[in-house]
Amino acid sequence: MYNALPAVSVSYDRATHIVTFVWQDETRGEVSDTELRSFCACADCRVKTLVGQVVIGRDCTIESIEALGTAGLTVRYCDGHDKGIYPWEYLQAICAGDAKEYLRG
């Protein structure tokens, strides 16, 4: 359903807190910074989730976004969290509201 192709462009608007992806088939996907942060699948966030700690803070403003080759993105949030790696396929699933299904395989 989703593919591992990198997006053509990724733009983040600090005012609206929305990240917009333009995919290679020219379709667009959007996700808020808070939602993107909540779907961080790094080990730290998983541990916190497992022990019932809150993963996301009040402010999930994004400070920087970097491409990891053909694999996906890393995102640095204003709270300093930058451990998460978001494969392109996963980002497509997040934009489509299917992140939990994707993680279940």
Contact footprint for other proteins (CB under 8 A): 3-4, 6-14, 41-44, 46-47, 49-50, 62, 64-72, 83, 85, 87, 89-90, 100, 102-105
Would you say 57 or 85 has its CB closer to other proteins? 85
Name residue 73's amino acid. L
DSSP letter at 6 equals P
Name residue, tokens 């996700």. 31
Name residue 53's amino acid. Q
Would you say 29 or 87 has its CB closer to other proteins? 87
SS3 (DSSP) at 91:
helix
Question: Least distance from C-beta 26 to other proteins, angstroms?
Answer: 14
CA-based Rg of the chain, rounded to a whole angstrom? 13
Would you say 47 or 57 has its CB closer to other proteins? 47
Question: Least distance from C-beta 10 to other proteins, angstroms?
Answer: 5
Using CA atoms, how far apart are residues 70 and 5, in angstroms rounded to an integer?
7
